[in-house]
Chains A and B, each alone.
Chain A
Amino acid sequence: MIVAKRKPFSEIKESVSGSKNILILGCGTCVAVCLAGGEKEVGILASQLKMALALEDLRANIDELTIERQCDREFIQEINNKVNVDDYDLILSTACGAGVQLVSDVFDHKVVLPALNTTFIGVAEGPGVWTERCRSCSDCILAETGGICPVTICAKGLLNGPCGGARHGKCEIDPERDCAWTLIYNRLNKIGRLDRMQRILPPKKYSADQYPARIVHEAYRRRYE
C-alpha cells in the first residue's frame, strides 16, 4: 500500500489561511490504513484547525468528508452526492499525491491542497509501523534476490552485492537498519538458491521506469488507443 504521513500542522495551517469554507476530504484506503488520512485523521485535523483558528479569533467553516478512494474518478464523483463543492473555497485532501491530483483534475475550478506527504509503497510491520518495500521501478528483480528488493532496501540500490560498509549485518548509514544484501544472502541460502547471488545482474533498465507511467489493460486497448 501507499504510506504517507501528515504534513507539519504549521504548514497545513499556513496553506489554508484566509479560506472561509474548507472541506477536509479524507481517503478511506491506503492512507486510512496507515493512520494518516482516513476518517479519524480528518476529524482530528478538522478539530485541530478549528481550535487553532479560534485561538487567533479567526473564523472558518470546516467540514469533513471521507470517500472510499481519491485515486478513482468514480468515487470522487460521489462527492457531488454528499456536498456541493462550490460551497467551499478550498478542498484540503488527506489522500496520497495521486488522490490529491485526481480530485484537483475533477474539480479543476477549485483550490485543492495536500495535507499529507506521500512517502512510500510499503507494508505494515506491526501496529503503527510501516516499512518501504517497493520503488515501483517497472523492472522487478525479486526473482533473483530471494524476494528482497535491493533497489529499495539497500541505501545505494546496489544490484550485485553489499558495499563495503555493512557492519554486523547492518547498513552503513543506520546501525538499526538491516543490510539488504545480508538479508538477501541469508534468504537465498535458506531457500537453496545462493547460486542466484553469484550471477552478475545487469544494470537496471530505467527506460522501463519513465514517468509519468501509463498502463492500458490489454482488454481496454481499443477503447483508449
Chain B
Amino acid sequence: MAESLEEALRSGKFLVTASIDAPKGTDLEDSLRLIDKLKGVVDALGVSDNPCAVMHMSPWAVCRLALEKGVEPIMHMTCRDRNRLALQSDLLAAASLGIKNILCVSGDHVKFGDHADAKPVHDIDSVHLLTAAKALAEGKDMAGKSLNGCPAFFLGATANTDADPLEPHLIKVDKKITAGASFLVTHPVFNIQHLKKFMEHVPRSKTKVLAGIRLLVPQDVPKYKDGGYPGLFVPDYTLEEIKGATMAQCVEMAGGLFRDIKSANLCDGVHVSAPGHEQMMLDLL
C-alpha cells in the first residue's frame, strides 16, 4: 500500500507528485497505463476536475483506479460545476471510495472550456469548500447537521506564485490555510524568484507546498500567449525558447526547473503536469 500523502509530506522528503486528466469518455485504458507507469515514480497522483472547464469523466473514478493500483490519489474538486449540496455529496462519495486527499479549487471560468454556455455555479468558493470538507471530517455538514459516519480528509488548495498583484492573492492563501488547507499546490512556476518570494510568506510548519511544473511544448505556445490560458503566466522569453525547441529540450527545460527547485530546497515537492503529453512526464522525472 502506498504511503499516504500526509505521511509523505510529514516525512520531510522532497515529494514528486503529478496530475493527469480523467478521460473524456469511458475508456480508462490510457489512465490505467499512465497510473501503472507513474507507480513508484510519484508519491501521489492528482486527477483534475473538468480541467480548464473542459468536460471529462469525474475524477473520483480515476482516483479510485489509482488507489486500486497502489497509487496515492489527490482528487481535484472545483466549485464551478456543483452547488454546496452536490459538492458535499461528492466529498462523502469520494471518502467512501477511500479517497482522502482533496485539492479544493474555484475552477477556471467556463468561458475557457468546451461548454461555454454552461452556468458557472460558484455557489461557494474554495475557502468555503475547505471549511465544508473540514466540517464533514468533524461530523457536520454545512447546515450543521450530524453525519452518520465521518470522512477523513487531507485537504489542499492552490496558489499562484505569479499572481499579479500578489498581495490580495496572499490574503486569500492565508484564508485557505486558516480554512484547513494542509498543503498548497502552486500553479505552474516559470519564475523561480516568484516562488522564493511566495515561500517567504507561507508558514511551512503549518502548510506544505508543492510547486507546479508544467511541461511546455512548441504546439502549446499559441494557447499560452498573452495570458490565453487561465492562471498560467508564461514569460515571453520562455515561450520564445519553447517555440524552437525539440521535445527533448522541452523536457530538459521543465526538468531543469524541477532540479533547481529541489536543490534549493525551496518547497516540499513538485506537482508535474503535461496535459496532452502525459507520457513525457516520466522522462521529465
Contact = CB atoms under 8 A, between A and B. Distances in A.
Nearest to B227: A167
A172 B168 contact: no
B163 A164 contact: yes
Given A161-B175, A200-B131, A203-B124, A156 B165 contact: no
A172 B122 contact: no
Given A200-B127, A200-B178, A202-B128, A156 B231 contact: no
B169 A203 contact: no
B179 A200 contact: yes
B58 interface: no
A182 interface: yes
B120 A162 contact: no
A206 B123 contact: yes
A160 B125 contact: yes
A85 interface: no
Contact of B230 (A158, A162, A165, A197): A165
Contacts of A184: 168
Interface stretch (B59-67, B104-112, B148-156): B104-112
B174 A198 contact: yes
DSSP majority for the A interface? loop
A166 interface: yes
Nearest to B169: A162
B142 interface: yes
B175 to A, nearest CB: 5
A185 interface: yes
A182 B169 CA distance: 9
A222 B226 CA distance: 60
Interface residues of A, number: 29
Contacts, number: 96
Nearest to A161: B172
A137 B172 CA distance: 23
A175 B169 contact: no
Quick one: which of A157, A161, A200, A206 has the most chain B CB within 10 A?
Answer: A161
B118 to A, nearest CB: 13
Nearest to B158: A164
Interface in B122-143: 122-128, 131, 142
Given A158-B122, A203-B124, A206-B123, A168 B164 contact: yes
Contact of B122 (A156, A169, A200): A156
B171 A161 contact: yes
B84 A163 contact: no
Contact of A161 (B111, B169, B231): B169
Given A172-B109, A172-B227, A206-B123, A167 B164 contact: yes
A167 B174 CA distance: 20
Contact of A197 (B107, B120, B127, B171): B171
B50 interface: no
Contacts of A200: 127, 131, 175, 178-179
B76 interface: no
A181 B127 CA distance: 15
Given A156-B106, A156-B109, A172-B109, A164 B160 contact: yes
B211 to A, nearest CB: 14
A200 B179 CA distance: 8
Nearest to A197: B171
B159 interface: yes
Interface in A130-180: 155-169, 172-173, 175
A155 to B, nearest CB: 6
A137 to B, nearest CB: 12
Contact of B172 (A156, A160, A168, A169): A160
B231 A165 contact: yes
Contact of B175 (A160, A175, A182): A160
Nearest to B111: A173
A28 B69 CA distance: 68
Interface in B230-269: 230-231, 233
28 contacts: A155-B111, A156-B106, A156-B109, A156-B125, A161-B169, A161-B172, A162-B163, A163-B106, A163-B231, A164-B158, A164-B159, A164-B160, A164-B187, A164-B231, A165-B109, A165-B160, A165-B231, A166-B163, A169-B165, A181-B168, A181-B172, A182-B168, A185-B165, A185-B167, A185-B171, A197-B168, A198-B171, A203-B124
Given A166-B163, A172-B230, A172-B231, 5 more contacts: A162-B168, A175-B227, A198-B175, A203-B123, A203-B128
